[in-house]
Amino acid sequence: MRHTASACAEYYMARALELARRGLYTTHPNPRVGCVLVKNGRVIAEGWHERAGEAHAEVQALMRAGKKAKGATAYVTLEPCSHQGRTPPCADALIAAGIKSVVIGMQDPNPEVAGRGIAKLQAAGIQVQVGVLQAQAEALNPGFCRRMREQMPWVRCKMAMSLDGRTGMRSGESQWITGPAARAQVQGLRAQSSAIVTGVDTVIYDDCALTVRAPHLLLDAQETALACERQPLRVILDSNLRTPLWAQIFKHPGDIWIMTTCDNAQKRADLEALGAQVHVFKANAMGRLPLAQVLKVLAQSGCNEILLETGATLAGSFIQAGLVDALVVFMAPTLLGQGARPLFALTGIEKMADQRPLVIDNIRAVGHDWRIDAHFATP
Ligand code: AOF
Ligand code: ZN
């Protein structure tokens, strides 16, 4: 009997997670949240959070259910909020609608909520269960959870390499190692990120726009429209303000931030005249841009997930600083030879004991290339 009840809770929570994923590209800086209302063994309404400032998942579902919501069970991927944000508290809305019990995927890591939503529901006599498909609920919002708990974003590093593990020519030339299907997937990764972080050398050599375009190669029309709705913030790490004024990146709409340690007023004014915001940091002990500090500033401005799209040197520095959470490596069926650059510039690895072990989460064919999703193994 108990087994049946928990399988049932997981079934409806799985549906709520599926609904939450509809907000994959659009909820920034809010989390993706889904909700299912069930009564007498039937789904009576569904909802998901679409955009910050708009109704939360629970309110969407309650609006669709109307009076029928009374006596229903709500399955929500994230703890209902208890605070007045851009919208009123969902816990109050569930209570007012006469919901009988609430099943929650995970507690809201937002310190404004953090258990208060659960307490509010319980105080109103509602039965609450927390932690159903919790790992999946966490995985849906890695960036939001990290930002709420640690005031840092979650970083995914995307790279392209040849079968012999090379990521570009010594000159910096790297277009194109992978094929169109892999590049279309990168559009999807950009669209779900709050910001795309790159280095000035990538801007110079690849002269890329770093915007979201044409994910229709990958998605259906409706999903394409959602993916293109919001252009992620583009961030250039440029210690000496070498970003060329002619760069493509300035010709495409969307915000651009340049993170630098250079306070040259003229260069700064030139870049600002093109619409960029220039953030000046104090160099670290090695005279470099403080990468953790850069990420902290991005988190402070609401960035959840970051896509690091850069070359071997900067990507290596992020890894060395322990700032990369996940890797997405596209491997192309080609050989670039020993004159080309290895995937990451990582120093200090001399012995096998120094290696950086990874866990491969997924590996699959994408057109003629292979996509490898991995994260660092915890020692
Ligand atoms: C929920 N359901 O669907 C979402 C929640 O500014 P607001 O009003 O949109 O509130 C944002 C906060 O509310 C967000 O940081 C998170 O703690 C929670 N998001 N909560 O119950 C939802 N999107
Ligand atoms: Zn809410």
Global pTM reads 0.94
Structure confidence at residue 1 as a pLDDT band (50, 70, 90): very low
136 lines ligand 1 (CB under 6 A): no
pLDDT for position 219: 67
Residue 81 CA to ligand 1 centre (angstroms): 6
Percent of the chain exceeding pLDDT 70 equals 97
Is 210 flagged in the annotation as binding?
A: yes
| 245 has pLDDT over 50 | yes
Ligand 1, atom 4, residue with closest C-alpha: 56
pLDDT at 128 > cutoff 60: yes
Active site residue 138: no
* Residue-level pLDDT at 35: 98
Ligand 1 pocket test: pick from 32, 81, 102, 118 the residue with the most ligand atoms within 8 Å of its Cβ.
81
CA distances from 95 to 89, 91, 256, 338, 358 (A): 10, 6, 43, 65, 46
Q: Cβ distance 76 to 103 under 8 Å?
A: yes
User: Cβ(90) to ligand 1 under 6 A?
Assistant: yes
The whole-number pLDDT of residue 207 equals 87
Q: Is 56 annotated as a binding-site member? A: yes
Q: How far apart are CA 41 and CA 39, in angstroms?
A: 5
3-state secondary structure of 217: helix
For ligand 2, the distance from its centroid to the CA atom of residue 91, given in whole angstroms, is 7
DSSP 353-375: GG---EEEEEEEEETTEEEEEEE
The residue among 106, 113, 108, 111 whose CA lies nearest residue 137 is 106
DSSP state of 194: S
Section 43-58 average pLDDT: 96
In the predicted structure, residue 100 carries a pLDDT above the cut 60: yes
Q: What is the pLDDT of residues 155-200, one digit of tens each?
A: 999 999 999 999 988 887 777 889 999 988 999 999 999 999 999 9
Best residue among 21, 36, 56, 92 to mutate for probing ligand 1, ranked by most atoms within 8 Å of CB: 56
Q: Find the helix or strand (DSSP H, E) in which 200 lies.
A: helix 200-206
Query: What span, in angstroms and rounded, lies between the C-alpha atoms of 69 and 37?
Result: 7
Mean pLDDT of 357-365: 97
Quick one: tokens of 289? 């841009």
Q: Per residue in 200-224, pLDDT tens? A: 999 998 888 899 987 565 667 888 8
Give the integer Cα–Cα distance in Å for 24 and 33: 9
pLDDT bin (cut points 50, 70, 90) of residue 87 is: confident
Question: With contact defined as beta carbons under 8 Å apart, do 82 and 120 qualify?
Answer: yes
| 28 CA distance to ligand 1 middle (Å) | 11
> 10, 50, 54, 58: which is the annotated catalytic residue?
58
Instruction: Tell me the helix, strand and coil percentages in the chain, rounded to 5.
Output: 35, 25, 40
Taking the CA of residue 56 as reference, the ligand 1 atom at the shortest distance is 3
Strands (E), the chain: 34-39, 42-48, 73-78, 101-106, 127-130, 154-162, 166-168, 195-199, 233-237, 256-260, 277-280, 305-309, 326-332, 341-342, 358-366, 369-376
Specify the pLDDT at position 2: 46
Q: If you take atom 3 of ligand 1, which residue's CA is the nearest one?
A: 56
Residue 312 assigned as binding residue: yes
Please give the distance, rounded to the nearest whole angstrom, from the Cα atom of residue 72 to the centre of ligand 2.
Answer: 18
Cβ(116) – ligand 1 distance below 6 Å: no
Q: How many residues does the chain have?
A: 379
